[in-house]
Amino acid sequence: MHLIGSAVSMFCSLMVSADTVPVKINIAPSEVFIERTAAGPELNFDFLVRNNGADTIRVEAITVAVYDRHQRLVLRRFIDDNGSSPSIETVPRRRIGPGATILNFNPFHTFTANTELHELRYAFRLRSGSRVDSANITIRPRAFEQTTRLRLPLRGPVIVYDAHDYNAHHRRLNFADAMGQKLGISSNFMRYAYDFIPVDSLGNTNKSDVARNESWLGFGAAVLAPGAGRVVQLNDVAADDRQIDMAAIIKEPIALYGNYLVIDHLNGEFSLLGHIKQGSARVHVGQMVKAGDHIADVGAAGSSLMPHLHYELRSAKGTRGVEGLPSYFEDYTRLAGSRRISVRRGTPLSGDIVRVK
């Protein structure tokens, strides 16, 4: 896989010594990327915190110190249990029972454009009864260098209903919880995903009855190949009923998307397009496609609140062991009210309205 900008954690895990709290911290994924967005550079990764001791442990504070390439401190941020509404409460899972593992989403995710993210040192303050200890982990993230030239998979205009910012549901796949374990997943394949919904010139997504697929402006809209490659997975037999088939998902979690199409870009990068319309595929497995080809239509199969297109760039086909990858699209326009902002290469944010030039 040609990931020139990938980075393996400089110190992927830490076991606190036997005379303190027995905690092990890992990061997921082990390759931490700097994603360049209009909001600033972002770090999209998780902490897996395991309690190997016999007593319950509580996370009381998390601090990050950012250093430049000369090992000079750039900034320090923290969340803790101080105040009437403590900032640590923004982290939902903080109590770790004996032998348990919790997943904490990295709370320090977005930085200003001029911040040099050479090295980040994280410190967790942990309490067990009256005892307070700490655990530390250091990472060196690097920019992800995308090999595939991508274009938006819908002509537009479309609203980015949900991208992958800190509050987006794609970002918040807790693969360490009971459901994740039941599904046998150990990574977030939708870590950098988007949900695109076609809109009209006023930004409306539907005409009237939201329960009817046909009321949505995007239902049946042409899905375009985002980049050149070979079709390696395809399903378009599921009904557009917005229903979750748990039996199918347990067997293979990619069934979450109901109908889907996966393109291998032949460079270690794969595009997945989810919730395509039943019977709409215009390609077959093994077929080569080029960017802009009409390959299917927008549907509402699987875990779909409404007709829309789910898109993600990922490290492989399938689901188990697959990680999401940052994706940058070329030559599109962001519609900001009466303004038209030309984007040569970028990543849309949640709430953006965009269209192919």
Condensed to tens digits (0 to 9), the pLDDT of residues 92-134 reads 999 999 999 999 999 999 999 999 999 999 999 999 988 999 9
Is residue 67 located within the same domain as residue 127?
A: yes
Residue 7 lies in a domain: no
Clarify whether residues 81 and 177 are in a common domain: no
In a domain, 274, yes or no: yes
Q: What is the pLDDT of residue 330?
A: 97
Both 132 and 96 in one domain: the answer is yes
In this structure, the answer to whether residues 132 and 177 fall within a common structural domain is: no
Q: How much is the average pLDDT of 79-99? A: 95
**Same domain? 19 vs 121:** yes
- Shared domain for 139 and 168, answered yes or no, is no
Per-residue pLDDT, averaged over 36-49, amounts to 95
Residue-averaged pLDDT of the chain: 92
Q: Are residues 137 and 213 in the same domain?
A: no
Say how many domains are in the chain: 2
Would you say 355 and 151 are in contact if contact means Cβ atoms under 8 Å apart? Answer: no
Pair 249, 130 in one domain: no
How many beta carbons lie within 10 A of that of residue 113, not counting itself? 10
Show which of 117, 143, 169 is a domain's final residue.
143
- Enter the tokens of residue 149: 């030239």
CA 19 – CA 298 distance, rounded (Å) = 57
Please indicate, yes or no, whether residues 120 and 171 belong to a single structural domain of this protein: no
pLDDT tens per residue across span 283-334: 999 999 999 999 999 999 999 999 999 999 999 998 788 999 999 999 999 9
Are residues 211 and 337 located together in one domain of the fold? yes
Mean pLDDT within 253-262: 96
In the predicted model, is pLDDT for residue 2 greater than 70?
no
The number of beta carbons lying within 10 Å of the beta carbon of residue 84 is: 4
* Domain-embedded: residue 276: yes
- 237 and 315 fall within a common domain: yes
The Cα 66–Cα 78 span in angstroms is 12
Range of the domain at 177: 158-356
Q: Do 291 and 204 share a domain, yes or no?
A: yes
8 Å CB contact between 135 and 126: yes
What CATH number has the domain bearing residue 62? 2.60.40.1470
What is the per-residue pLDDT for 321?
Answer: 86
List of residues 6+ apart from 313 with CB closer than 8 A? 146, 148, 150, 192, 269, 270, 271, 324, 325, 326, 327
Taking a C-beta distance cutoff of 8 angstroms, is the pair 43, 102 a contact? no
pLDDT tier for residue 45 given thresholds of 50, 70 and 90: very high
Give me the CATH number covering residue 219: 2.70.70.10
